[in-house]
A and B are shown apart, each in its own frame.
Chain A
Amino acid sequence: DVKVTQSSRYLVKRTGEKVFLECVQDMDHENMFWYRQDPGLGLRLIYFSYDVKMKEKGDIPEGYSVSREKKERFSLILESASTNQTSMYLCASSYTGSLWPQHFGDGTRLSIL
């Protein structure tokens, strides 16, 4: 069974901390995505990666960075966490021929205090 695994389901951090959210996929997919999900806003794309070490900004990249050193792993980094980054974060992947996310992880609910 195909899997996108996010390292934490729930995470609580403090304002100003550097936060790492990890995502691993086992499908050999080229494309990986990080989304933020907020009630009434749907999903908003933070960053997209189409290959190792390659990345594209999404709609809301401010305050975030990403790292993709290996094909199966895509990390989201909150450089200095703020309370307005409290949200649900979803990772997704797809193969090269599919520019839409196909498989999602279960999400990380991040609270910044």
Chain B
Amino acid sequence: AQSVTQLDSQVPVFEEAPVELRCNYSSSVSVYLFWYVQYPNQGLQLLLKYLSGSTLVESINGFEAEFNKSQTSFHLRKPSVHISDTAEYFCAVSRKTSYDKVIFGPGTSLSVIP
């Protein structure tokens, strides 16, 4: 069975500083990978996804994540964060089979400090 680890439960960072949120997964087969964001008092939004092709994927609001197969990682990065990026971030994985449910990590709370 696959699993997802997000080692950092909380990440405080100053505004305009870079940030990296770490995600590692385990799976015996090829996977799809996702990052979701949850702003306060809201549901989740799909931030970006890796299905195939280029290992670097980007979101519309400046985040990017890189699939590293050898390290089984899918870390999320942003070169300069804004106050509005304060949210909970969830990494998720699913196996590339005809149907397999998405497994979510425990989440990382990003707090951007003015």
A residues at B contact (CB < 8 Å):
4, 40-45, 48, 58-59, 90, 92, 99-107
Cβ-defined contact, A42 with B99, below 8 A: no
Cβ-defined contact, B94 with A100, below 8 A: yes
Closest to B46 in A: A102
Closest CB of chain B to A54's CB: distance in Å? Answer: 12
Beyond A58-B101, A104-B44, 20 extra complex contacts between A and B, CB < 8 Å: A4-B43, A40-B106, A42-B104, A42-B105, A42-B107, A43-B44, A44-B104, A45-B102, A48-B101, A90-B44, A92-B43, A92-B44, A99-B100, A99-B102, A100-B102, A101-B44, A102-B46, A103-B46, A106-B42, A106-B43
B residues at A contact (CB < 8 Å):
4, 9, 32, 34, 41-46, 49, 90, 92, 94, 99-102, 104-107
Which of B4, B41, B44 has the most chain A CB within a 10 Å cutoff?
B44
Bound Cα distance from A59 to B103, whole angstroms:
10
Cβ-defined contact, B9 with A40, below 8 A: yes
Closest CB of chain B to A38's CB: distance in Å? Answer: 9
Closest CB of chain A to B7's CB: distance in Å? Answer: 13
Contacts A42-B104, A42-B107; is A90 near B43 (CB within 8 Å)? yes
Cβ-defined contact, B90 with A106, below 8 A: no
Report chain A residues within 8 Å CB of B104. 42-44
Closest CB of chain A to B1's CB: distance in Å? Answer: 10
Report chain A residues within 8 Å CB of B92. 100
Contacts A42-B104, A42-B105, A43-B90; is A100 near B43 (CB within 8 Å)? no
Contacts A105-B43, A106-B43; is A100 near B105 (CB within 8 Å)? no
